[in-house]
A and B are shown apart, each in its own frame.
Chain A
Amino acid sequence: MSGRRSSTILHEPPPRASSAHESSLYIPQPARIIRITPLTEMEKLFELGFLDGSRLNQQPGQFVQVSMLGVGECPISICSSPTRPDTFELCIRRVGSVTNRLHELQEKDTIGIRGPLGHGFDTHEMHGKDILMIAGGLGMAPLRSLIQYILDERPRFGQFHLLYGAREPKELLFKDDLLRWRESKDVNLAITVDRPDPQWRGKVGVVTTLFKDLSKLNPDQTVVVIVGPPVMFKFVVIEVLARRIPQGNIYCSLERRMKCGVGKCGHCQANHVYVCIDGPVFKYGQLKGMREAVE
């Protein structure tokens, strides 16, 4: 708010001049599909590399905007770790116009990528800590980047518990990874499904039921990461808070409608926050005063 002042001094320069050659925020870079791996009926894993050979240099938890030129663009989490920098991977569920078209593509086809975008996990803050990670459904996609990161930098972390819940066994993502992680001493993996099929030999129940088998947590030494559908988030947070984990040690990732991905278009706003640039990763403590985040 400004009162009147009688002076002709310039207070704030007008925006820095733009030229016709300035590049646009909205231009995607061409990336080639190196490999496509079907994961379930609904999800495929795409391994990608930029045509010009550059690297994505992402943080775990960040996302990209994926373009099918002529169809549109949509936000997708990066599901591979920066510790494996030559290519990057996206796990894409087909649900609408852009994602359906992506599922029709073949290896060697080219798509457009903008990113990495958003604010990911602060991995430095996690160094030296025990990690408890809870994934629900497609929430496994953004978490896989962090899981790979932890496994690749294993000596930097304490205990590592990973709890994963899916609705049905056929919806479990990254089954090859899961088999490997289950055999590994580096991670303590527990999986449950809501509705078993006849072949299922594992646990049955919602993901919170896995908490009862969890060894005792050291509240100040533990970082908790929760990514999944909002209902799951609510119930898991209760379990976690009941174990006296400080709110500043709990991470989550929000999903919203997104268009620009760069804090302009307003679509991803949840109360005062722009999920695309302030998130998608938040600490639970930050969600206070953000009623739309948890409602």
Chain B
Amino acid sequence: MLDRMLAQRDLFTLVGELARKRRIIGPVRRENHFFYEEVADVGTLDLSFNYCVYGPRAFLFPPTETLFTFNRFDHTFTAKPVLDVRPMAFVGVHPCDIHAIRLLDRVFEQDHRDAHYLARRSHTLIVGVDCRTPCTEGVFCADMGTHSAIEGFDVMLYPLHRDGRDDTTFGVMFGSDAGRDWILYSRRGAIPTAADERAFEQYEREKAAAFPRHLRMHANDLPELLDRSYDSLLWEATARRCYSCGSCNLSCPTCYCFNIYDESDLSGTTGRRERTWDGCHLKNFAEVAGGHNFRPRAASRLRHRIYRKAKWVRQRTGLAGCVGCARCDRACTAKINSVEIYNQLAEEA
């Protein structure tokens, strides 16, 4: 069931109004690729983007951020947390990335609440844009069940009628009160008619047919497949090509590992503790003082990443650790391909 019909130009007017209260982040074209960027002029957003090279996670969990500032004096110190509560709106998030954000939400909320992530997240409105067809070759979101989203957004837009870049009509679904209020308050758009609902059903049918499957097994069976594959020679054979560059981690919308370090002035009296993205494919990720490394080989690190994405994260959070966006596969300098790894493991098992 749709909640509203909205023409693209009305949507942009609404986003323009939103921009008075929130930083707007959305897909912007840079030569042949799209990136999530903060835009000053909503006209630079392009909602017909194929895919963004990186997911929007950098705006919720920045590549580096200050956790707190400190001040040392007279045998004691004070430390002040730095929390970013500036309101944001992500406009134009595909379902896979919505699933990725849900995972980050869960991770930073469970066991111990991470106020730094949650401050940004709880001030973020998410406007999704559904994908009618795969955004590019090699994505396996349909295999992972992440090519559609039923939650994790405030508003979802379905591009039902598309007559060129500037003339799309969206079917709108509300995911939260905030999303509903934003759309309905303006009185723009229209109540969906029976014909709109039929168009939506047709859209869904076409969509179901448009996404090919790439995995030779059901995603739910991946954990069990991996259970049988710990000692496979494939890890060593595949990782022989790995440069341990971490591009896979960098491009992943669900990677959330980080490092913590201090920056201080020369006297050491004031400074800040920062965190920065880290990646489990980097050589020293599991190395301790004295030089012992718990995952010294590229093969053990590759296995760690794949197990984490396809099994352990799900085990811990109940949500998929891999959303099938294939960004790691596209980013990999050595053309290591996760779908290929799964399918080869399935063949062995």
Contacts and interface: CB of A to CB of B under 8 A. Distances in A.
Given A25-B113, A25-B115, A264-B108, A1 B204 contact: no
Given A1-B145, A18-B115, A69 B288 contact: no
A36 interface: no
A70 B149 CA distance: 44
Interface in A72-100: 72-73, 95-96, 99
A14 B149 contact: no
A203 B315 CA distance: 47
Interface stretch (A5-13, A128-136, A178-186): A5-13
Contacts of B308: 269
A16 B109 CA distance: 9
Contact of A70 (B76, B83, B113, B262): B262
Contacts of A255: 288
A65 to B, nearest CB: 9
A267 interface: yes
B258 A20 contact: no
A16 B118 contact: yes
B346 interface: no
Given A24-B67, A72-B260, A110-B76, A4 B150 contact: yes
Contacts of B258: 259-260, 264-266
Interface stretch (B13-21, B30-38, B45-53, B289-297): B289-297
B40 to A, nearest CB: 25
A110 B107 CA distance: 33
Interface string A100-118: 0000000011101000000
Contacts of B68: 24, 26-27
Interface in B96-123: 105, 107-109, 111-116, 118-119, 121-123
A1 B219 contact: yes
A291 B304 CA distance: 12
A86 B278 CA distance: 38
Contact of A8 (B109, B111, B175): B175
Interface string B304-342: 100110011001100010000000000000000000000
Given A14-B105, A30-B76, A263 B320 contact: no
Interface in B177-198: 177
B260 A264 contact: no
B312 A272 contact: yes
A26 B108 CA distance: 13
A260 B260 contact: yes
Contacts of B144: 1
Contacts of A26: 67-68, 81, 116, 260, 273, 275
Contacts of A18: 83, 85, 113, 115, 118-119, 121-123
B145 A2 contact: yes
A70 B105 contact: no
Interface string B141-164: 000111011111000000000000
Contacts of B278: 265-267
B22 to A, nearest CB: 15
Interface in A153-202: none
A262 interface: yes
Contact of A30 (B77, B108, B111): B77
Contacts of B145: 1-3
Contacts of B202: none
Nearest to B148: A4
Nearest to B106: A15
Contact of A267 (B115, B116, B152, B257): B257
A41 interface: no
Contacts of A17: 122-123
A28 interface: yes
A242 interface: no
B175 A10 contact: yes
A256 interface: yes
A11 B150 contact: yes
Interface stretch (B132-140, B238-246, B279-287): B279-287
B220 interface: yes
Contacts of A108: 75
Given A19-B85, A26-B68, A267 B286 contact: yes
A71 B262 CA distance: 6
Given A30-B76, A108-B75, A8 B67 contact: no
Q: Which among A5, A27, A70, A257 has the highest number of chain B CB atoms within 10 Å?
A: A70
Interface in B70-86: 70, 72, 75-77, 79, 81, 83, 85
Contacts of A262: 111-112, 114
A109 B286 CA distance: 32
Given A2-B145, A69-B262, A24 B83 contact: yes
Contacts of A109: 75
Contacts of B259: 259, 265, 267
Interface string A140-154: 000000000000000
A238 interface: no
B77 A15 contact: no
A69 to B, nearest CB: 5
Nearest to B258: A265
B230 interface: yes
Given A16-B122, A22-B113, 13 more contacts: A1-B219, A4-B150, A14-B152, A20-B83, A20-B85, A25-B115, A26-B116, A26-B273, A70-B262, A264-B112, A265-B257, A269-B286, A272-B315
15 contacts: A8-B1, A8-B173, A14-B122, A16-B109, A26-B275, A27-B67, A69-B72, A70-B264, A108-B75, A112-B77, A257-B285, A260-B260, A266-B256, A267-B286, A269-B280
Interface of A: 1-8, 10-12, 14-20, 22-28, 30, 32, 51, 69-73, 95-96, 99, 108-110, 112, 255-257, 259-260, 262-267, 269-272, 277, 291-292
